[in-house]
Amino acid sequence: MDTSVRVAIVIPEPPWFHGGIERVVSESVRRLRRRFTIEIVCGSTSGKKATVEWEGLPVHVFSTMFRTVAPIREIRRLLNEIGPNLVHAHGHSSFAPLAVARRPRCIVTPHYHAHPYTRLLKVPRLVWDGWLGEFVYPHVNRIICVSRSEADLFSTRCHVPMSEIHLVPNGVDVERLRSASPVHTDGRMLLFTGRVERYKNLDRIVAALHFLPTDIHLSIIGQGRDERRLERLAKRYQVETRVHFLGPLEDSQAFSWLRSTAAGISLSTTEAFGIFPLECLAVGKPVIVGPAPGFIDLAAEFPDSVFVTSIATPPDQIAGRILRAMEAFSPVDVSRYDWNQVTDLMAAKYLEVCG
């Protein structure tokens, strides 16, 4: 094991934060640390400036007002003090790309979402995309997207040639998923894991539940601002006793729920990749998804296991789609997405940049 190459990883929130980017980084870092000396630099919208330890690694935390507003000069000064051989920034819609702008030997993984989460951000987002595309990304050694669809969108919106984009997918912990102990459930369970926000379209699932057999329940792992609205909606459809908000769970607990589900479901239209659908497939469960770019890629690869439905579909037809997915599912091999293989690909990119 040669850990002489020092890598600084810049992310919007700390690695223990319950967010998609932070989860990807925490999983990859646990494996990359076997080959590289790693330090993490991050923002925190709820914490103060500090250097703390996470799983034996130093984490330099900076207080941020929003994901895009951070003390960039301080972060760049810290990176100069650390003196890494390579800096890897995650999150196009955060301060991270600015922290590595024009640095020697740097990588950006944008985790690009084509649409901002609110209409108010539409114009600022277009400006941000164009500005980074013109002034930051031309000076980056590697841009790594996690799916072909994400790469296409990122290339179009940020004016980065496809020839300059590399693909390294996200991954899943196949061994831990399959070894998790199932939890006991009454009846059949649909499972959603992720942020409980409007763009996830959980309201469509709650509405569809009204048209499904009464032994089918919906369990939601995660938290967010849409929970109260969904509770009211469940009462309106008279399914409040069949909708269960489990809150954020540790991976070991979430994996146990995955082992117990009849099917996974996520009707989001804005995802660069599909970790949750892959986790469902890893434990031999079907998954019903919305038309998010990352989901569509998986559906094309696994057409008899990942079932796409439009959010414009009426709730009774979504219910029918769910029942057909449960019946038509064919198990598939997702071992190429195991985190160990994915981090091998990422490690190769690190070594390419470091020479």
**115 token code pair:** 């649409």
- Cα 95 from Cα 64, distance rounded (Å): 9
pLDDT score, position 125 = 79
- Cα 252 from Cα 312, distance rounded (Å): 34
Question: What is the full per-residue pLDDT of the chain (355 aa) written as tens digits?
Answer: 557 899 999 999 999 987 889 999 999 999 999 999 999 999 988 778 999 999 999 999 998 877 667 789 999 999 999 999 999 999 998 999 999 988 999 999 999 986 655 555 666 778 889 999 999 999 999 999 999 999 999 999 999 999 999 999 999 999 999 999 999 988 999 999 998 999 999 999 999 999 999 999 999 999 999 999 999 999 999 999 999 999 999 999 999 999 999 999 999 988 889 999 999 999 999 999 999 989 999 999 999 999 999 999 999 999 999 999 999 999 999 999 999 999 999 999 999 999 8
The one-letter code for the residue type at 93 is S
> In degrees to the nearest 10, what's the CA dihedral of 91, 94, 95, 100?
20
Domains annotated on the chain, with CATH: 6-171+338-354 (3.40.50.2000), 174-335 (3.40.50.2000)
How many Cα neighbours within 13 Å face the side chain of 23? 19
> In degrees to the nearest 10, what's the CA dihedral of 146, 149, 153, 155?
60
DSSP 86-133: EEEEE-TTSSHHHHTTT-SSEEEE----SS-SSGGGHHHHHHHHHHHH
> In degrees to the nearest 10, what's the CA dihedral of 321, 325, 326, 330?
170
| Diameter of the chain measured on Cα atoms | 61
- Cα 77 from Cα 99, distance rounded (Å): 10
